[in-house]
Chains A and B, each alone.
Chain A
Amino acid sequence: MTAGPGTVPVPPSVAAPRGGGRHGSLWWLVVPALVFFVTFGVVPLLGVLGLSFANWNGIGAITPGGLGAWRQVLGDPGLLHSLWVTFEIMAISWAVQTPASILLGTFLAGPQRYRGFLAVLYVLPLLLSSAALAVTWKALLDPNFGLGAGLKIPLLSQNWLGEGGLAVGVVIFIVSWQFVPFHALIYQGGVRQIPRSLYEAAEIDGAGRIRQFFSLTLPQLKYTIITSSTLMVVGSLTFFDLIFVLTAGGPGDATRVLAVEMYQTGFLGNQMGPASAIAVIIVLSGLVIAQLLRRLGGRDASASQLEGM
């Protein structure tokens, strides 16, 4: 990392094939980004672990709290419930979104012009903020003033957000409504990278479309499925805006996921210690799940890739 005068030409044969140090040092270019990221990313990550062993009400002084916060959180049946709700929403929304995204992504990867137009429409829900989205659906699903009541269809004018099971279903539906298009686009990219020669070979072998989809497209999409699933699953750990605005964790505690539980414990209940412990649980769950999914894909990294080439 010695700084050399930046303008002295060096014969190409002397220059290293890759790497910058040879020609003026570059390390300082990374410093601004690093300072911001360490201050508001790395330090808080360590901080949240530290605060989980402290007493703090959010305003006053921070005092060491030992294992008090952890004991409180782990002994609270509410935590177990939040974990359950979080994983329930995670699992069901994954199971709903993945087949839909693969189907739509495969369809979008086709050549017709209008599919590009459809892709533009699909992205619209992604542009809305979760808060605006939650506000909208709350109005739309209102049993007295919403769409169902206006159309006078009893089936649609249920108390969607007032009953536990229905509210969970609504959250999953809205999440899918917003994110299926995003994942469909990821799958579109994946499908387009499958070598065309494989399809030509399959066609010569007489494989029909459905056979092609299950024996060729799907196995070839393996890594895309893992990428997309990781984003879905880890992302679902952090659904806060949507649920907070839509139901605030209710009715009762039916949709109180970990992130909402953390907010309510910390910022409404003024118990930052236990809230930090919940945050640590969120981070750890995310890391564990991501690692599991990585393992799932990493074992036979090159297995299905060259099949049939």
Chain B
Amino acid sequence: MATTTSSTTTEPAPPGADRAPAPPRRARRGLGRFNVLGGLAGWVWVAIVLVPIYWIVITSFKSQSTYYVTNPMLPPTEPTLDSYRLVIESDFARYFVNSVVVTAGAVVPAVAMSFMASYAIVRGGGTSRFLRISNSLFLLGLAIPLQAVIIPVYLIVIRMRMYDSLGGMILPSIAFAIPLSVLVLSNFIRDVPRELFESMRLDGASEWTTMWRLAFPLTRPAIVTVTIYNALLTWNNFLLPLILTQDPSKRTLPLAVWSFQGQYGVNVPAVLASVVLTTLPIVVFYAIGRRQLLAGITAGFGK
């Protein structure tokens, strides 16, 4: 749905402004000056974002007994790892492994398949009706929220005898990662100069070779973007494990955090330690691919 809108919203790109990074300082004078309101809002928002995150982190290092008697906004005088110990003893290593398996198992095939599909759609869409119809189907997919079709997905997974298995969560995750990935990747492949394809062809390269030797390296930034984005969504998915698993040993982290709070609700430091441990891997992942993701959001939707 995002696309149906954004595709009609493409502005006539001003010369030199396409996918513009930070433009030269002098030229932006008009935008940079005296934005008092914006500047104030910018810093206030940083505080709004950081205060709860700060609270999560410092509290997770407090002991349950000191939590109730100390000022909640001050860091602990005697930091302790007790909360983290309790979380890890509650089988979080297993949930962590489950999350890694589900995320990697879903994102790698999803991005690979989306890349191949995008390549075919861009290169063959001009002559093949089948490819054009496939593309429209993927675009339609952007309008299907997972929540709304979860009941039939549940039915299909049961019938495939994959209830209570990691595979049962992986397969729908792959499917729901495909539409946006195809959209983003095909936009990028479209930007590869046609002469390059032409010269590959004259060198006698097959489409398969051209795809992996030419299109893949040139679209790498977009591939990183969709990989991070899909990894984030899959890692954080709560609905699929909630619906498709029952056995605690098959839980992924978001569901584990929820049931952990149900179990240790009054132990606030421990609950927050579980939140930190759940989020830490994705923060690390994000730190690695930050530039691509930010550029992807601003370039992909900002048009």
Residues in A lying within 8 Å of B, measured CB to CB: 1, 6-7, 9-10, 12, 15-30, 32-34, 36-45, 47-48, 51, 56, 58, 100, 103-104, 106-112, 115-116, 118-132, 135-140, 142, 145, 147, 150-151, 177, 180-182, 185-197, 199-200, 202-203, 209, 212, 223-224, 226-228, 230-231, 234, 237-238, 240-241, 244-245, 259, 262, 266-267, 272, 275-276, 279-280, 282-283, 286-287, 290, 293-294, 297-298, 301-302, 305-306
Is the CB–CB distance between B131 and A27 below 8 Å? yes
- Indicate whether B93 reaches chain A with its CB closer than 8 angstroms: no
- Contact: B41 with A286, CB < 8 Å? no
Quick one: given A32-B113, A115-B42, are A121 and B49 in contact (CB under 8 Å)?
yes
In the bound complex, residues from chain B placing their C-beta under 8 Å from that of A28 are 120
- CB–CB A240/B147 < 8 A: yes
Interface status of B161 (Cβ within 8 A of chain A): no
Q: Point out residues on B near A: beta carbons under 8 Å.
A: 1-2, 4-6, 8-14, 17, 20, 22-23, 25, 27-28, 30-35, 37-39, 41-43, 45-46, 48-50, 52-53, 55-56, 67-68, 70-73, 110, 113-114, 116-117, 119-121, 123-128, 130-131, 134, 137-138, 140-141, 143-156, 171-172, 174-176, 178-179, 182, 194, 198, 201-202, 204-208, 211, 232, 235-239, 243, 253-255, 257-258, 261, 266, 268, 271-272, 274-275, 278-279, 282-283, 286, 290, 293-294, 297-303
Q: Is the interface of B mostly helix, strand, loop or mixed?
A: helix
Cβ-defined contact, B297 with A189, below 8 A: yes
Pick the contact of B148: A17, A48, A226 (CB < 8 A).
A48
Q: Report how far A188 CA is from B143 CA in the complex, Å.
A: 25
15 A–B contacts, CB within 8 A, in A order? A26-B128, A33-B113, A115-B42, A123-B286, A192-B20, A196-B27, A199-B31, A200-B30, A212-B30, A238-B145, A244-B238, A283-B149, A287-B1, A293-B5, A297-B8
- Compute how far the CA of A180 lies from the CA of B137 in the bound complex, rounded to whole angstroms: 30
* 6 closest residue pairs by CB, A with B: A189-B302, A19-B126, A47-B152, A107-B38, A189-B298, A129-B236
C-alpha spacing A136/B275, complex, angstroms:
7
Best-surrounded residue of A26, A51, A135 (most CB of chain B within 10 A): A26
Q: Is the CB of B151 within 8 A of A48?
A: yes
- Could you say which of B28, B55, B235 contacts A111, with CB atoms under 8 Å apart? B28
Chain B residue nearest to A201 (CB atoms) is B30
Cα distance, A200 to B34, chains bound together (Å) = 16
Q: A193-B14, A266-B151 are in contact. Are A199 and B143 (CB under 8 A)?
A: no
A127 near B286: Cβ-Cβ < 8 Å: yes
Q: Shortest beta-carbon distance, B285 to chain A, in Å?
A: 9
Of chain B, the residue at the smallest CB distance from A36 is B175
17 more A-B contacts (CB under 8 A) besides A124-B283, A224-B302, A283-B144? A21-B127, A24-B207, A26-B123, A30-B120, A33-B114, A42-B141, A107-B41, A109-B31, A145-B67, A189-B300, A227-B9, A238-B145, A238-B148, A240-B147, A267-B243, A279-B150, A297-B5
B9 in contact with A223 (CB, 8 Å): yes
Please determine whether A129 and B117 come into contact, CB atoms closer than 8 angstroms.
no
Report the minimal beta-carbon distance from A69 to chain B, rounded to whole angstroms: 12
Contacts of B148 in A (CB 8 A): 48, 238, 279-280, 282-283, 286
Contact B4 A147 (CB under 8 A): no
Distance in angstroms from B121 CB to nearest chain A CB is 7
The CA of A48 and the CA of B144, in the complex, are separated in Å by 12
CB-CB under 8 A for A227 and B5, given A10-B201, A23-B201: yes
- The CA-CA distance from A1 to B134 in the complex, in Å, is 15
A226 to B128, CA, bound (A): 32
Task: Decide if B258 touches A195 in the complex (CB within 8 Å).
Answer: no
Q: Tell whether, in the assembled complex, residue A245 and residue B37 are in contact, meaning their CB atoms are under 8 Å apart.
A: no
Q: What separation, in Å, do the CA atoms of A40 and B142 have in the docked complex?
A: 13
Question: Chain A residues near B110 (CB, 8 Å)?
Answer: 36
- Given A43-B152, A293-B5, A20–B207 Cβ distance below 8 Å? yes
Q: Which of B42, B147, B208, B257 contacts A259 (CB 8 A)?
A: B147
Residue contact A37 to B179, C-beta cutoff 8 Å: yes
Q: Are A1 and B303 in contact (CB under 8 A)?
A: no
Contact across chains for A127 and B1 when beta carbons are under 8 A apart:
no
Asked, given contacts A19-B124, A30-B134, A135-B257, whether A241 binds B239 with beta carbons under 8 Å apart, the answer is yes
- Residues A15 and B198 in contact, CB atoms below 8 Å apart: yes
CB–CB A121/B46 < 8 A: yes
With A19-B125, A44-B156, A192-B302: A110-B137 Cβ-Cβ less than 8 Å: no
Cβ-defined contact, B254 with A36, below 8 A: no
**Which residues of chain B come closer than 8 Å to A147, judged between CB atoms?**
55, 72-73
- The answer to whether A230 touches B2 (Cβ under 8 A) is yes
Please give, as numbers and ranges, the residues of chain A lying within 8 Å of B235 by CB-CB distance: 129
A33 CB contact (under 8 Å) in B35, B116, B294: B116
